[in-house]
Homo-oligomer: A and B are copies of this chain.
């Protein structure tokens, strides 16, 4: 669909109506629209007509009601770190930037839960919690907003132990497509009361409603933490060591794979001198005795697969440096190919198939002549091969798309998914039918049509209507 020009008469009517409610917190300024027309991926930007900054669920509801009346698209925006064109305004419309809804509403320390506005970021929350002995573990790398993380069912490095947003969201406040405010879930640990609306909105990427508040599960800070990196003779050995760790149910908090290409890029970017081999980054949480037990069990597994050269990081500053290096991988890759953009793949397979999937993918990368280093939340069976691309190079993009199609096919054939954590957005729409089948996609379409009959909520994402 074409990008409608901003500041048409329809838009200026809309602008006036929203200004009457929000004053200066709505704008049609070009640079603001540009900032809101893309995430962090290679996808071309698509600008909204207007950007607004509500402060409450009531204000979001008022904005959505105006959009519903006028048939205008609504695109929720958290921190703009999505990777599958989740925030691109395919039909223009109103971008609802939730970053000013950044209040931690309540922390129930004795029940280990909290309620936050959707714009609170995960670092802000953990900063807020620092004197309570509690923390929120989900860490997708970027300092994403908790609303955005909920909307994309994010996970990241700690998910192998603590689960994803699916397991850690207890309830939500959502503004529906008609501008009603609903609450889902309860503060109880479980409930069998009706349809699981919470889990339906988690991962719905703004297509069923705007998430304005999130009720989250928290965890007690662990008594002992130990982190380490260890390298392996080849990527299959690193993956096999991971498989064994999971199969033995060692409760690792993080187990992350970076291939030798990424390790080289990181050394260059971060001025570190890690061995440039296929490497696992690990973290263990527990009591002193528990961590020691986990470490001993893992060390034995690593030895069996030729792992050597453990580098331990027991002090917090050392750990931060280690995980900084891990999180900088993407930027380190970009630095190897200046001016490129990351085409990020995100398959997730049953743990037993992880080594096969990674090894076959590595061979495919070599044969496709792509620069696509591999990084993975391997404890979950999830890995990314980030292809650093020039989106204007048609020949390269054709090879990338073919490579991506084969990678997803490989993962699906192994019982996996096209996306472990980034979501569908616009970028992975093409894989939905292959993964779910026509029948399940039809059910999703039915839900979308029931909850958003005008197709105004982040249109063109997740399901094709």
Contact = CB atoms under 8 A, between A and B. Distances in A.
A256 to B, nearest CB: 15
A129 to B, nearest CB: 16
Given A202-B196, A382-B190, A182 B113 contact: no
A412 B188 CA distance: 10
Interface in A181-208: 181-184, 186-197, 199-200, 202-204, 208
A155 to B, nearest CB: 6
A189 B351 contact: yes
A36 interface: no
A15 B112 CA distance: 55
A266 interface: no
B113 A350 contact: yes
Interface stretch (A298-306, A321-329, A435-443): A435-443
A108 B431 CA distance: 25
Interface in A60-117: 108, 110-113
A450 B203 CA distance: 20
A190 B110 CA distance: 29
A451 B447 contact: yes
A186 B415 contact: yes
Interface stretch (A1-9, A22-30, A363-371, A422-430): A422-430
A152 B418 CA distance: 29
Contacts of A442: 180
- Interface of chain A, main secondary structure: mixed
Contact of A167 (B154, B167, B193, B351): B167
A380 interface: yes
A348 interface: yes
A64 to B, nearest CB: 13
Given A416-B186, A417-B191, A422-B192, A451 B444 contact: no
Given A190-B348, A349-B188, A446 B450 contact: yes
B424 A194 contact: yes
Given A108-B352, A196-B202, A440-B182, A381 B189 contact: yes
Nearest to A202: B196
A381 B188 contact: yes
A461 B206 CA distance: 29
A439 B180 contact: yes
Given A194-B444, A418-B193, A436-B183, A188 B382 contact: yes
Contact of A111 (B187, B190, B352, B432): B352
Contact of A188 (B187, B189, B191, B415): B415
Nearest to A414: B187
B194 A200 contact: no
Nearest to A412: B186
Contacts of A112: 247
Given A111-B351, A435-B186, A421 B192 contact: yes
Contacts of A166: 190, 196, 199
Given A249-B220, A439-B181, A444 B202 contact: no
Given A350-B111, A351-B111, A443 B176 contact: yes
A190 B249 CA distance: 17
A192 B420 CA distance: 5
Interface stretch (A41-49, A228-236, A257-265, A287-295): A287-295
15 contacts: A110-B243, A110-B247, A111-B350, A166-B190, A182-B440, A191-B417, A194-B462, A195-B203, A196-B196, A196-B199, A196-B203, A197-B440, A219-B249, A446-B450, A447-B451
